[in-house]
Every structure is written in structure tokens, then in C-alpha cells.
């Protein structure tokens, strides 16, 4: 702060205004945006296109979200690798391709009411919000919930984050246009299926063993669901109950 004050005293009034503007932004954003990150983000979007993501809405959303904001500072340099990374409490920030694929499956329309299971780092939440939906996000790990809620708020991402077991869903806000599960389920979360609108879509990583596959499930009627296999995927497990450690 002293350095900043000294510096401020030595600059012209025009650059002083510039500096004030920058400082105000830095106060809100805990981690910095930088031209090198912007360039890497563009390359990442190109890579996602090559890997088969076609939705322009999804590509634009990933092109806007600064992934480094949602990762430990020690890993910022790796933020635009198409890989998952640890974020503490044994959890990971999902791989950008996976985030893009799951978002594409949901075919988000403006103002869709979306339920996300597994807030995690908040990166997927930010991508969903950039697509223009209204988002409710549940996380079972208390420490992660507290931290991520703050990161999202500080960066201007308005999601309703709740500490809650995703297997229960969020009955008070149901039905949802879309539901995205971002942890690998080894049993079908039936309560979630019932909280989907008729015509609504759920993205669900599911499989009985270690290997999961990503499914797109569309609710056709009160009782009928259509299931489409969208290929193999890797996720941390979907676990029951709240973890307050």
C-alpha cells in the first residue's frame, strides 16, 4: 500500500485516474486477469472446437470465464490446460472439455432455470451463468461451499449456492428446465429426475464401477425418460450427505 501511495504521488493526474480504475478492479477480483491468460483462453476455445464442441453459446461462455480465478494461485499458470486440477478437500476443477460437453448437452436457453449438483470450484457455475441461465448450485463439502460462494460473488457471478446433498435436489425450486450433475453417480438420483420439467434435460455422469459414461436424459412425460449415451467421462464420485470437515 505504501508503495502504491508513493507511486501515485509520482504520476501525472491522467495516469492517476487510470491507476485508480485498475486498483478498484483489483480490489474486487482476487486473482488477476492478464493478456497472457486472454491469449491462452482463445487457444483453449480453438482446441475445444477441434475436439468437437459446436455450440457457439458454449464456446463463447468458455471464452469469457477466467479459469485462473477458480483455481489455487499456485496453479494459475496451468489454468488453460485442458485438464482437471486439484482444488483442495480431495476435489477437482473439471476439465474444460468436460465442462463444455456437459453444458452443450443441456442446450441452455436464456433464463432457463438450472440446478447444478457439485458447485466445486465454481468454474462450471460461471460457464452456465455466462450462457444466460438462472442457476441454483448445491455442494456437499462445507469448506468448499464457503470458499466458492465467495469467489463467485466477488467475480460478479450470481448463483444461488446452497450447502446441500445433491441426491435430494432442491424441491422448493423445482421443477427445473435443466439439471447438471458434475460428480459421477453410481446409482440413479431418482429425486433429481422427478425435479426435472417435462421436456427438460439432465446431464448425468453415471456408471456402476470406476468407469462412468455421460448421459443426456430428457423427460418426455410424467413417467417416461429418454436416455442418450454421450461417451466416457471422468468425475469425482457423487457422495451422500453433507461433509462439515
Nearer to ligand SAH, 24 or 78 (CB): 78
- Tell me how far, at minimum, the Cβ of 198 lies from ligand SAH, in Å: 24
The three three-digit cell numbers of residue 182, written as one number: 458434475
Distance of CA 38 to the CA centre of its chain: 18
Question: How many C-beta atoms lie closer than 10 Å to residue 33's C-beta?
Answer: 14
Q: Which of 121, 200, 202, 212 binds ligand SAH (CB under 6 A)?
A: 121
The torsion region of residue 67 among left (phi > 0), alpha (psi -120 to 50) and beta comes to: alpha
From CA 89, how far away is CA 72, in angstroms rounded?
12
Q: Is 144 in the site for ligand SAH (CB under 6 A)?
A: yes
Q: Which of 31, 68, 103, 182 binds ligand SAH (CB under 6 A)?
A: 182
Which of 129, 135, 138, 192 touches ligand SAH (CB under 6 A)? Answer: 138
* Closer Cβ to ligand SAH, 216 or 226, answer by number: 216
- Comparing CB distances to ligand SAH, the nearer of 23 and 241 is 241
DSSP assigned state of 95: P
Radius of gyration, CA atoms only, the chain: 19
* Residue 135: Cβ-neighbour burial (10 angstroms; 0-12, 13-18, 19+): buried
Question: Is there binding between residue 68 and ligand SAH (CB under 6 A)?
Answer: no
Q: Residue 104, interface with ligand SAH (CB under 6 A)?
A: no
Which among 20-28, 139-147, 154-162, 190-198 is the span making contact with ligand SAH, rule CB under 6 A?
A: 139-147
Q: Is 19 or 236 the residue whose CB approaches ligand SAH more closely?
A: 236
CA distance 128 to 133: 7
Contact with ligand SAH (CB under 6 A) among 91, 151, 195, 214: 91
H-only helix segments in 123-224:
123-130, 142-154, 190-194
Residues serving a catalytic function are 94
CB-based contacts of 72, cutoff 8 Å, min separation 6: 86, 87, 88
| Residue ranges binding ligand SAH (CB under 6 A) | 91-94, 99, 117-118, 120-121, 123-124, 138-141, 144, 165-167, 182-183, 236, 238-240
Amino acid at each position: 500500500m505504501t508503495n502504491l501511495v508513493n507511486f501515485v504521488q509520482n504520476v501525472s493526474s491522467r495516469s492517476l485516474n487510470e491507476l485508480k480504475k485498475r486498483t478498484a478492479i483489483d480490489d474486487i477480483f482476487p486473482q488477476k486477469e492478464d493478456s497472457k491468460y486472454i491469449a491462452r483462453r482463445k487457444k483453449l476455445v480453438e482446441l475445444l472446437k477441434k475436439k468437437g464442441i459446436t455450440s457457439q453459446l458454449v464456446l463463447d461462455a468458455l471464452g469469457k470465464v477466467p479459469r485462473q480465478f477458480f483455481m489455487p494461485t499456485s496453479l494459475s499458470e496451468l489454468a488453460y490446460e485442458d485438464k482437471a486440477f486439484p482444488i483442495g478437500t480431495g476435489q477437482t476443477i473439471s476439465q474444460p472439455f468436460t465442462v463444455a460437453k456437459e453444458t452443450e448437452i443441456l442446450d441452455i436457453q436464456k433464463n432457463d432455470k438450472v440446478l447444478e449438483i457439485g458447485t466445486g470450484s465454481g468454474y462450471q457455475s460461471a460457464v452456465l451463468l455466462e450462457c444466460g441461465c438462472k442457476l441454483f448450485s448445491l455442494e456437499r463439502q462445507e469448506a468448499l461451499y464457503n470458499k466458492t460462494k465467495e469467489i463467485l460473488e466477488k467475480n460478479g457471478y450470481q448463483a444461488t449456492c446452497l450447502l446441500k446433498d445433491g441426491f435430494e435436489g432442491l424441491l422448493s425450486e423445482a421443477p427445473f428446465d435443466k439439471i447438471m450433475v458434475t460428480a459421477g453417480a453410481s446409482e440413479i438420483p431418482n429425486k433429481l429426475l422427478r425435479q426435472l420439467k417435462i421436456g427438460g434435460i439432465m446431464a448425468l455422469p453415471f456408471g456402476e464401477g470406476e468407469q462412468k459414461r455421460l448421459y443426456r436424459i430428457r423427460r418426455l412425460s410424467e413417467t417416461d425418460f429418454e436416455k442418450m449415451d454421450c461417451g466416457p467421462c471422468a468425475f469425482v464420485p457423487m457422495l451422500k450427505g453433507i461433509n462439515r470437515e
